Amino acid sequence: MKKIRLLVVLSLVVLFATPALAANTIKIGFNIPMTGDIPKVGEMSKQAAEMLKADINGAGGLDVGGKKYMLEFVYEDNEAKAESAVTTALKLIEKDEVLAMVGPNSSKQAVPAGQVANDNETVMITPWSTNPATTLDRPWVFRAAFLDPFQGPVAVNFAVETFKAKNAAVLYDLSNDYSKGLAEIFKAEFEKKMGAGTILAFESHGTKDQDFSAQLTTIIAKKPDFIFVPDNYNQVALIVPQARKLGYKGQFMGSDSWGSAELMTLCGNDCKGLYFSTHYAAAGATGATKEFIDRFNAKYGVTPDDVAALTWDATRIVLKAIQDTKGLSGKLKRDRKAIREAMAAIPSFEGITGSMKFNEQGDPIKCAVVVKISDTGTFEFTKSVCP
Amino acid sequence: MLATIIQNLINALQWGSFYALIALGYTLVYGVLTLINFAHGDIFMVGAYIAFFVATFMLSAAGLPGWAALALTIPLTMILTSMVGVTLERVAYRPLRRKGAHRLYVVITALMCGLILEHANLALLGASRKAFPPMITEHVYNIGGVSFTNLKVAVIVSAILVFILLQWIVTKTKVGMAMRAISYDKFAVPLMGIPMDNIIVATFVLGSGMAGLAGILFAMSYPILEPYMGALIGWKAFIAAVVGGIGDIRGAFLGGFLLGAVEILVVAFFPSTFRDLIAFTVLLVILAFRPTGLFGVAKTTKI
What is the domain partition of chain A in residue ranges?
A: 2-146+286-366, 148-278
Residues of A in contact with B222 (CB under 8 A): 210-211, 238
Domain A2-146+286-366, classified CATH 3.90.226.10, yes or no = no
**How many angstroms separate the CA of residue B118 from the nearest CA in chain A?**
12
Nearest-10 Cα torsion for B232, B236, B238, B241: -160
- CB spacing of B7 vs A34 below 8 angstroms: no
**How many angstroms separate the CA of residue A204 from the nearest CA in chain B?**
6
pLDDT of residue B25: 92
CATH at B119: 1.10.3470
B-facing residues of A in 253-292 (CB < 8 A) are: 262, 265-266, 268
Residues of B in contact with A203 (CB under 8 A): 272
CB A26 within 8 A of CB A97: no
Is B229 near chain A, with CB under 8 Å? yes
Tell me how many domains chain B contains.
1
pLDDT of residue A20: 43
Of B147, B149, B224, the CB nearest to A237: B224
Residues of B in contact with A202 (CB under 8 A): none
Q: Which residues of A371-381 are buried (b: 16+ CB within 10 A; e: fewer)?
A: bbbeeeeebbb
CA dist., res. B261 & res. B255, Å (int): 10
Answer yes or no: is B137 within a domain.
Answer: no
pLDDT of residue A215: 93
3-class secondary-structure state, position A382: strand
Q: How do the pLDDT tens digits run along chain A, 387 residues long?
A: 555 565 555 555 554 544 444 468 999 999 999 988 888 999 999 999 999 999 999 999 999 988 899 999 999 999 999 999 999 999 999 999 999 999 899 999 999 999 999 999 999 999 999 899 999 999 999 999 999 999 999 999 999 999 999 999 999 999 888 999 999 999 999 999 998 899 999 999 988 889 999 999 999 999 999 999 999 999 999 999 999 999 899 999 999 999 887 898 898 889 999 999 999 888 778 888 999 999 999 999 999 999 999 999 999 999 999 999 988 888 999 999 999 999 999 988 999 998 888 888 888 988 899 999 999 888 888 888 887
- CB spacing of B273 vs A35 below 8 angstroms: no
User: What is the separation, in whole angstroms, between the first and last Cα of chain B?
Assistant: 40
Answer yes or no: is B90 within a domain.
Answer: yes
- CB spacing of A213 vs B232 below 8 angstroms: no
Class in CATH terms, A148-278: alpha beta
Sign of the Cα torsion A295, A300, A302, A303 reads negative
Query: What is the amino acid identity at position A333?
Result: K
The residue ranges of DSSP E strands in A223-329, in sequence order, are 226-229, 251-254, 275-278
CA dist., res. B219 & res. B10, Å (int): 18
**How many angstroms separate the CA of residue B116 from the nearest CA in chain A?**
16
pLDDT of residue A18: 45
pLDDT of residue B35: 87
- Please report how many Cα atoms fall inside a 13 Å half-sphere around the Cα of residue A201, on the Cβ side: 27
Is B7 near chain A, with CB under 8 Å? yes
Give the tens place of pLDDT for each residue, A139-169. 999 999 999 999 999 999 999 999 999 999 9
User: Residue B37, by phi and psi: left (phi above 0), alpha (psi -120 to 50) or beta?
Assistant: beta
pLDDT of residue A22: 46
B3, burial (CB in 10 Å: exposed 0-12, middle 13-18, buried 19+): middle
Q: Which residues of A137-154 are buried (b: 16+ CB within 10 A; e: fewer)?
A: ebbbbbbbbbbbebbbbb
Answer yes or no: is B203 within a domain.
Answer: yes
Could you say which residues of chain B have pLDDT below 50?
Answer: 301-303
Among chain B residues, the shortest Cα distance to A240 is held by B222
CB A307 within 8 A of CB A41: yes
- Its domain, for residue B171, covers 2-125+145-289
Among chain B residues, the shortest Cα distance to A216 is held by B268
State the complex-level ipTM. 0.87
The size of chain A, in residues, is: 387
